Amino acid sequence: MASHRRPKQPSRARVTVLTTAAAAAVVMSSQAANAAPSEKPSKDEVKAKVDKLYEQAEQATEKYNGAKEKQEKLQKEISTLQDNVAKGQQELNDLRDGLGSMASAQYRSGGIDPSVQLFLSADPDDYLDKASTLDQLSAQQVEGLKKIQEKQRELAQQRSEAAEKLKDLSSTRAELGKKKKEVQGKLASAQKLLNSLTAAEKAQLADEQSRATRASERDALSVNVPPGSGRAAAAFAAAQSKLGTPYVYGATGPSSFDCSGLTSWAYAQAGVGIPRTSEAQTGAGTKIYSVDQLKVGDLVFFFNDLHHVGLYAGNGQIIHAPRTGTVVRYESMNTIGGPFMFGVRV
């Protein structure tokens, strides 16, 4: 007969353990649910993170600007070299045609010498190295061969330079693409954080920025600090004319700017050419390390790596293109986010 035993019941201790574990899981789940809202960063925390991302984006932007400037310079140099090579090749062909015509005339008169015959089918570099050959050539033929030899060497050098610059251009383009992706990545991360804010929080941030800009503008216009020179005054006036123009990374005006794009454009309007990037602009004039000695129109640089630049506006204020999402505006030097390093009087 089959056995009909009752199934074994779990022990009291096992039931107690399972019940306790289940209760703990419920408590932990409840705590996690209650904690979730508090894990959302506050408006100020989001702003701090966004400001840091914008700073990193601007650092990458200045590197991008440098690579772009180098690319444009290399393209011009390569174009010039290629034009010179084409022109030089035509000159070489003309020299060869001239010597060939001379040889043909000698042949028709029965006087062509073996050396010229050999030249017409050989490399003159190798041919001219043979001293015995020179004795068999006329002075005119020797001069023609020497010109051909010089032109060949010149063309070889230019072709070599062009090849090196093309390699450099390729690596520069790769660096340009890398920096562009880095900038776009930082900006996308910043936008994602901003999107996490409520409409009310976004409005509060916008209002804070607007009030800070108005206060900086009042401070800048409250004193009349004389400009350092007529050129500095003209550059400052040009920057003032662009107040409210949007910031766009890599832009040099006139409808949008990044920080060094604004300063280089402003000085260009004053008839003064300064370098494109903030780091390079530090060498555009005399350095001034005291804020008290700055004059309106002086370039002012911030952060240890000098990735931000503006124009001094007096009373501790600057005109600059701050970052993505802002416009050209006045701002206190104390709110830039990085230390003032020095000014430059162009």
Which residues are known catalytic residues? 259, 308, 320
Buried b (16+ CB within 10 A) or exposed e, 68-83: bebbeebeeebeebee
Task: Kindly report the backbone phi and psi dihedral angles of residue 252, in degrees, each rounded to the nearest multiple of 5, phi listed first.
Answer: -120, 20
Structure token pair of residue 159: 């072709």
Chain centroid to CA 312: 23
- 117 to 101, 111, 133, 137, 336: CA distances (angstroms): 12, 11, 11, 11, 77
For the chain, give the number of residues.
346
- 12 to 19, 21, 326, 340: CA distances (angstroms): 11, 14, 68, 72
Q: Where are the alpha helices (DSSP H) in the chain?
A: 12-39, 43-108, 114-119, 124-128, 131-134, 139-195, 199-221, 230-240, 259-269, 278-281
Q: Helix or strand or coil: residue 243?
A: coil
Q: Helix or strand or coil: residue 327?
A: strand
Helix axes 43-108, 259-269, angle to 10 degrees: 60
DSSP state of 324: T
Return the bridge partners of 247, or none: 257
Q: Helix or strand or coil: residue 207?
A: helix
Q: How far apart are CA 331 and CA 318, in angstroms?
A: 6
Q: How far apart are CA 330 and CA 47, in angstroms?
A: 20
